[in-house]
Amino acid sequence: MIIQLTHKTELDPTNVQRGYFARACGTARFAWNRGLAEWNRQYEEGLKPSGPALKKAFNAIKKEEFPWVSDVLRDANSQPFSNLQTAFGNFFKGRAKRPHFKKKGIGDSFYIANDKFRIDENRIRIPKLGWVRMKEPFCRFGKIMGGDGFPDGGQVVCQYRRQDEYHPGNMRKPSGCRCGSGREASGDIV
């Protein structure tokens, strides 16, 4: 059975690299907010908006109206439209609240596709930026599926997902522990 694992590691960027991460987060937030505003406008007019259509319309005007979005990797301004499609799908199925506009500094992040970045020992290569040092070594098992970069309390964190084989017979038995929240926590893989 194949499972997907997520690893979160702190990066050790230079000040120039920190600026790049801030611009990438801002670009992703701008694309999300612009897409959400257009989605709301089309929905109020009785049209049926979609993430891919909004992305296509944004791509048609971004070079003339917003040339600064090309300063960071492409995924930062294209993935928010897919995320918006998913968010509205969850909203209409009753699984989540209606999507809202994003604010600077609250949940800032940007997506990096698995074919766009490379990890080597203690560093990660990000498009249009280059190599960024990681504070801990990379776990080499499995296929990398994608990643997210985001500032976290003054630190810059990279979270990457990888696929790996799961062999239930090789796993230890789950162990529970009591946490302060009053809920049981266990080592089960869900």
55-to-3, 42, 81, 84 alpha-carbon distances in Å:
30, 14, 6, 10
- Which pLDDT belongs to residue 171? 55
Assigned domain for 187 exists = no
- Domain of 152, in residue numbers: 2-165
- Reference 143, options 170, 165, 167; nearest CA is 165
The set of residues, in sequence order, having a beta carbon less than 8 Å from that of 86 and lying 6+ positions away, is 51
Work out the average pLDDT over 154-166: 73
Assigned domain for 74 exists = yes
Structurally, the chain folds into a number of domains equal to 1
Contact 3, 189 (CB under 8 A): yes
- Reference 75, options 122, 25, 33, 119; nearest CA is 25
Assigned domain for 38 exists = yes
pLDDT higher than threshold 60 for residue 180: no
- Which pLDDT belongs to residue 181? 36
pLDDT > 90 fraction of the chain, expressed in percent and rounded: 51
Rounded to two decimals, the pTM is: 0.80
Assigned domain for 178 exists = no
- In this predicted model, which residue has the larger pLDDT, 88 or 166? 88
Assigned domain for 184 exists = no
Assigned domain for 185 exists = no
